[in-house]
Structure 1
Amino acid sequence: MTAWTVDRQLELTACEAVEAIRSGRLKAADYVATLIARAEALENLNALTVLDVEGALAAAQRIDALSASERERLPLAGLPVVVKDNINTRGMQTSAGTPALEGFVPARHAPSVQRLVDAGAVLLGKANMHELAFGITSTNLAPHCGPVRNPYDPERIPGGSSGGTAAAVAARIVPAGLGSDTGGSTRIPAALCGIVGLRPSVGDGGTQRRYHDPNAVVPISHTRDTVGPMARTVADVALLDAVITGHGPLAAASVTNLRIGLPKPLWEGLEAALEAVARLALARLEAAGVTFVPVEMPELLALNDRVSFALALHEPIDDLKAWLTANQAPAHTVADVAARIASPDVRAAYDAVLADVRGPDYQTALTVWRPRLQQLYAQTFAANGLDALLFPTTRLAAVPLDELNGSSRVSIDGAAPIDEMEAYLRNTDPASNAGIPGLALPAGLIDARWPVGLELDGPAGSDRRLLAIGLAFEQILGSLPAPLI
């Protein structure tokens, strides 16, 4: 009989935990109790807004009461997960980290959450986040939230806006969870916390959208928003993705047949220490047989700038109103929500939303510049015979958090300070606006302390292929050691 010490349970990946519970070697209730104790011990990280002790233990006990054959039919039998606090959960708060929605409980799960629960997952709680998902630090100044802290260095940001999910996964509070991604909100915190995050395809928002969660996530932009799984390994992210989409198991790609593009604009202006870690990872991948192809893409950032905030500052007007109405939320208008925003950076963003400062640019951004950006990606993949693009997920590693503001200004290696959101979004935002899938995975550590991430972007709809490539890269690069907390 396996001796399930606390340390051994905490190091289980999602795949390992499910296998142990399904086989009967580990009781789901024992595992959940261990993780609850871990969450309570690490409360100072502010990773969670809700810890559902009674509900999680009861759900785990129901899994344990099943017959062996019944457990075997559940792909996530007894797997504890956390869900970002802007994703609807029945019977559990969905506040988006903002005072106007504090304590609001939706009538039903988001479809992505429901598929996890139907597969046997146990909802351990809700994950803290940047207020209303409108930021990349997860420094939330709402009284019931507080700033999320990076498990690798609690005085630094975890990234955002899905910082709570990333911190909980990295800190071994849970093996996996759900975030959401508009401009980089699963991938940026994955990179800064040393885990894996997937932004699924959105494409045209219709048949090309991989996850369908209409009016089930407190929104920013229907054109860009998507739920995304986060975990410590690519295999675990692939498991959650397969459950949500109904796909089967996935094998790693053969690295010797891969052609991976290196987009020049996304390899420029990097923090030197971060670039050194990324280049070392590149060398290891190349030594294993991956073929890298430099690609210029000179129009990439200019096209992205024409799309990004025109969508993000105009679409909340209708999208948030629709969510409030569909869910019978306690706040009835966007102005009601905005009036109670606690974080200064988010308040400034919603001042711009309510003034519709980008309204005049919206239609052109949506119908002219976004299609051109999508065409640039499609042509780059096709003309160079590429399986994916690869680049550092962020330009710099985690910076010290500012507990007085949701974000601030940062300097990269002593250069002139720039807006923190601009600095961290530069590399993740273009794929968001193009609607293509992106997968962030660990590359290594700076000074054995601060995680660095690499991102793989693929053509629209190539999510399974992208995950297969990620599995192959993970076999070469490995996972990061646990944070010392």
Structure 2
Amino acid sequence: MTWTVDEQLALSATEAVAAIQSGRLKAADYMATLLARAAALSSLNALTTLELDGALAAARRIDALPAAEKARLPLAGLPIVVKDNINTAGLQTSAGTPALEGFAPATNAPSVQRLIDAGAIILGKANMHELAFGITSTNFATHAGPVRNPYDPTLIPGGSSGGTAAAIAARMAPAGLGTDTGGSTRIPAALTGIAGFRPSVGNGGAERRYHDPDAVVPISHTRDTVGPMARTVADIALLDGVITGAGALPAIALRGLRIGLPAPLWEGLERRVNDVVSAALRRLETEGVVFVPVAMSELEDLSDMVGGPLAIHEARDDVLAWLVANHAPVRTVAELAARIASPDVRAIYDDILDDVLGSRYDAALNQWRPRLQQYIAATFADERLDALLFPTTRLAAVPIDDLRGSSTVSIDGSPPIDTMEAFLRNTDPASTSGIPGLSLAAGMTADGLPVGLELDGPLGEDRRLLAIGLAFEQLLGVLPPPAL
């Protein structure tokens, strides 16, 4: 069978693997098509490293396997992109910051290794907001640059996993890995029209779904996680299953699902976002989904008491631990911080080095987070909810800020608010409480920008949440590709 370029670019991860396993598509041909696509769209700054020779060689090895062996690889020949803060053996892991440019760890992060063992091939490393401390992916490092949204290159793709999202949305790769501390897989997924998943983390210990110790340039060991990103929820489920060893998704019918609508996360939406998500709700309701308004009046305040103190206080020790464990070219956080290129990230690292929220850390960890977790768990139980649903972000993509990387935004003419605060409001509660969250495409605004809906589930119910997301996506559909 002869595949056109457009046919190859349209393949989802699941479809591509099936075609390669069956021998209908050569892995090397597919990889060459995507590498050429990535090179042609380099102006999007989605990738910091393109693995030309190595990726093609790996694809040829997949093609040379006996048919039976190839069929046993659940990701046979699948090209993926990996965020540049996730360890990859022999490939740059710079976290988008100058002090780590060109640094390559000795080993892969466990989540990456499981994908490779299943047949996946790293096509390149994905650009990001410097050191993952931001939601725009406007990076000022000369080796990185600002990631651009494929639907409008003058706009942000979201962050901090903006490069992974932009590469997937632009059809450079069908899937990849990002990381998520406060919304970094879900925000860019929403703004670029793909799906992004934050798996369960709990308190960062035994409840953590993905285990990648000292294998990701960190922010917070109790909040950080690797998360899969792809154009479809089915592809998210495929990668999640490989990373965790989980079986097939449970069967889910839309009719009778009880989905909570947290009032605070539906307030203050941009009008064009509200139009899209309201239309999606009407379609879901027509198919029998039961929407349950829930007040959750304490949600934002509780989440705010947890988020900042954990991230700002934990970052200094956690980054130092990664530098030492991985024999990085700089050995202190101060050395790393001295070379930060992005003004917004430099200001955050000043706070980290001064430990400005250290006095609030113990209360955040031992008082406010348990209270938040109990509050959310009680809402699920008392209202008999299958999931919570809300717009992933309260506004669509905004223009790139070439001066600071992130400053302020105005929603429909309202007084300006901090950009990061505006985009994190809805994604942060899942992060601070440790529950799983999935962003999927809700539709597009009248002017052609993607809008996302987020589903949050009870702790540990990741596969059921993905099954609900898949049922939603089968009704709402996936978005058309950007015109590039």
Report TM bin, short chain.
Answer: over 0.9
Paired position in structure 2 for 1:445? 444
Contact kept, 8 Å, 2:250 with 2:463, in 1: the verdict is no
Q: What residue is the counterpart of 2:358 in the other structure?
A: 359
Aligned to 2:238: 239
Partner of residue 477, structure 2: 478
Question: Offset at 1:121?
Answer: 0.2
| Contact in 2 for aligned 1:252/1:471 (Cα 8 Å) | no
CA distance in 2, matches of 1:257, 1:273: 29
The answer to whether 1:151 aligns with 2:150 is yes
Once the 2 structures are TM-superposed, how far is the Cα of residue 265 of structure 1 from its aligned partner? 0.3
The question of whether the paired residues in 2 share the 8 Å contact of 1:252 and 1:472 is answered with no
Asked whether 1:3 is paired with 2:2, we answer: yes
Residue identity opposite 1:47 in structure 2: A
The aligned runs of 1:74-89 (5 Å cut-off) are: 74-89=73-88
- Counterpart for residue 454 of structure 1: 453
Aligned to 1:129: 128
Q: Is the 8 A contact 2:111 2:210 kept in 1?
A: yes
* Counterpart in the other structure of 1:305: 304
- Distance in 1 (alpha carbons) for counterparts of 2:290 and 2:54: 49
| Alignment-mate amino acid for residue 49 of structure 1 | T
User: C-alpha separation between the residues in 2 aligned to 1:369 and 1:250?
Assistant: 33
Equivalent residue, structure 2, for 1:343: 342
Contact residue 205 and residue 222 of structure 2 kept, 8 A: no
Deviation at 1:252, TM superposition (A): 4.4
Work out the CA distance in 1 between the residues paired with 2:119 and 2:235: 15
Which residue is 1:398 aligned to?
397
- Work out the CA distance in 2 between the residues paired with 1:269 and 1:143: 36
Give deviations 1:337-376, integer Å, cap 9, x for gaps.
1000000000000000000000000000000000111011
SS at match of 2:313: coil
Q: Which amino acid aligns with 1:338?
A: A
The amino acid across from 1:120 in the alignment is G
- Structure-2 residue corresponding to 1:116: 115
Aligned to 1:21: 20
Corresponding residue number in structure 2 for 1:432: 431
Letter of the structure 2 residue corresponding to residue 408 of structure 1: S
Aligned to 1:204: 203
The one-letter code sitting in structure 2 at the alignment partner of 1:313 is I
The 3 A distance-change label for structure 1 pair 478 and 448 is: farther
TM-score by length of 1: 0.99
CA distance in 1, matches of 2:31, 2:161: 22
Letter of the structure 1 residue corresponding to residue 208 of structure 2: R
**Count of matched residue pairs:** 484
* Correspondence 1:310-389 to 2 at 5 A: 310-389=309-388
CA deviations on 1:218-250 (whole Å, 9 max, x unpaired) are 000001000000000000000000000011222
SS at match of 2:82: strand
Q: Which amino acid aligns with 1:117?
A: I
Partner Cα distance (2:302, 2:319) in 1: 26
Which residue identity does 1:362 align to in structure 2?
Answer: Y
Kindly report which structure 2 residues correspond to 1:189-200, keeping only aligned pairs within 5 A, or say none.
189-200=188-199
The answer to whether the Cα contact below 8 Å between 1:202 and 1:209 also exists between their aligned partners in 2 is yes
Q: SS of the counterpart of 1:257?
A: coil
The answer to whether the Cα contact below 8 Å between 1:304 and 1:429 also exists between their aligned partners in 2 is: yes
Classify the secondary structure of the residue corresponding to 1:173. coil
Q: Give the residue type in structure 2 aligned to 1:349.
A: I
Work out the CA distance in 2 between the residues paired with 1:448 and 1:4. Answer: 32
Would the aligned equivalents of 2:313 and 2:355 in 1 still touch at CA under 8 Å? yes
Residue 256 of structure 1 deviates from its aligned partner by 1.1
RMSD between aligned residues? 0.7
Contact 2:179 2:226 in 1 (8 A): yes
Structure 2 unaligned regions, length at least 5: none
- Following superposition, the deviation at residue 205 of structure 1 comes to 1.7
Report how far residue 251 of structure 1 moved. 4.5
CA distance in 2, matches of 1:176, 1:442: 15
Tell me by how many angstroms 1:257 deviates. 2.8
2: distance between equivalents of 1:286 and 1:435? 28
**8 A contact 1:252–1:470 mirrored in 2:** no
Query: Whole-Å Cα distance in 2 between the matches of residues 39 and 358 of structure 1?
Result: 41
Please give the alpha-carbon distance, in whole angstroms, between the structure 1 residues aligned to 2:235 and 2:308.
32
- In 2, distance between residues paired with 1:146 and 1:415? 30
Q: Is residue 162 of structure 1 aligned with residue 179 of structure 2?
A: no
* Match runs of 1:26-41 below 5 Å: 26-41=25-40
> Distance between the aligned counterparts of 1:212 and 1:181, measured in 2?
13
Q: Aligned residues: percent identity?
A: 73
